[in-house]
């Protein structure tokens, strides 16, 4: 089965009825976590990320969203406890939630979305490989911020796919832009990568272990998410 990437834009404010409805469809642990967030936006991202995951994986497994149970490996990567062939990975930042999923023979699916904000480019020297740092430094000044976030999200998507978390140093592999504009990693030659802007303020990247990726994500609306649970 082909891999899908679904993205959901998080609203600034949800009607109370919608919010309570979505809260009722996540785990008790998630509800408790949401209640501890100081910022409502953080609670929205956390809860809606689980709702999007449950709705999407329900279609892949044939089980109801509420019947799905999750486990985590020792590095924190989530998995379905009762269906190891269904792989997924979720990320959220700023206004967006992204989910990659599919029924694949390998657990290696990763996705990362980041809100683009001004940063000190010296951070690249700390976390990027020498190849990447030199590539970034050679980019035109007006392109450096975009290139930084492309590199960062691509690298995060790979680390999340491998499922080793921060135990895999970001500078232990390099992302390289090919002549056609696509990206690859010599250390992960079999992995296809996807890199694109979701909008002017957010960057998305995804990767898989040899399985073809979609050219674009599917945009899911809040109403579609709501209807899927009714």
In this predicted structure, what is the pLDDT of residue 33? Answer: 95
Using the predicted structure, report yes or no on whether residue 17 has a pLDDT greater than 90: yes
Using the predicted structure, report yes or no on whether residue 161 has a pLDDT greater than 70: yes
Q: How many other CB atoms sit within 10 Å of the CB of residue 100?
A: 29
Containing 112, the helix (H) or strand (E) segment is strand 109-115
Using the predicted structure, report yes or no on whether residue 210 has a pLDDT greater than 90: no
Using the predicted structure, report yes or no on whether residue 156 has a pLDDT greater than 70: yes
More confident residue, 75 or 134: 134
Lowest mean pLDDT across 18-32, 157-171, 189-203: 157-171
More confident residue, 57 or 107: 57
In this predicted structure, what is the pLDDT of residue 1? Answer: 61
- Supply the Cα-derived Rg of the chain in whole angstroms: 18
In this predicted structure, what is the pLDDT of residue 104? Answer: 86
Confidence of residue 163 (pLDDT cuts 50, 70, 90): confident
Residue 217 DSSP label? P
pLDDT in tens, 66-121: 999 999 888 888 899 988 889 999 999 999 999 999 998 777 999 999 999 999 99
More confident residue, 75 or 151: 151
In this predicted structure, what is the pLDDT of residue 217? Answer: 98
């Amino acid at each position: 089965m082909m891999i899908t990437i679904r993205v959901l834009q998080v609203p600034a404010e949800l009607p109370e009825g919608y919010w309570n409805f979505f809260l009722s469809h996540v785990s008790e642990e998630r509800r408790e976590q949401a209640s501890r967030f100081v910022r409502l936006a953080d609670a929205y991202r956390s809860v809606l990320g689980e709702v999007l995951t449950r709705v999407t994986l329900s279609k892949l497994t044939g089980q109801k969203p509420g019947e799905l149970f999750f486990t985590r490996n020792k590095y924190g990567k989530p998995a379905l406890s009762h269906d190891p062939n269904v792989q997924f990975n979720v990320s959220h930042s700023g206004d967006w939630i992204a989910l990659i999923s599919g029924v694949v023979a390998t657990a290696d699916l990763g996705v990362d979305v980041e809100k683009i904000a001004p940063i000190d480019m010296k951070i690249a020297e700390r976390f990027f490989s020498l190849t990447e740092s030199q590539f970034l430094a050679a980019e035109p000044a007006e392109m450096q911020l975009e290139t930084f976030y492309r590199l960062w999200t691509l690298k995060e998507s790979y680390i999340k796919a491998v499922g080793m978390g921060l135990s895999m140093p970001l500078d232990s592999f390099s992302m390289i832009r090919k002549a056609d504009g696509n990206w690859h990693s010599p250390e992960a030659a079999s992995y296809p990568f996807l890199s694109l802007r979701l909008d002017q303020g957010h960057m998305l990247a995804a990767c898989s272990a040899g399985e073809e990726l979609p050219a674009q994500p599917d945009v899911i609306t809040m109403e579609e998410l709501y209807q899927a649970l009714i």
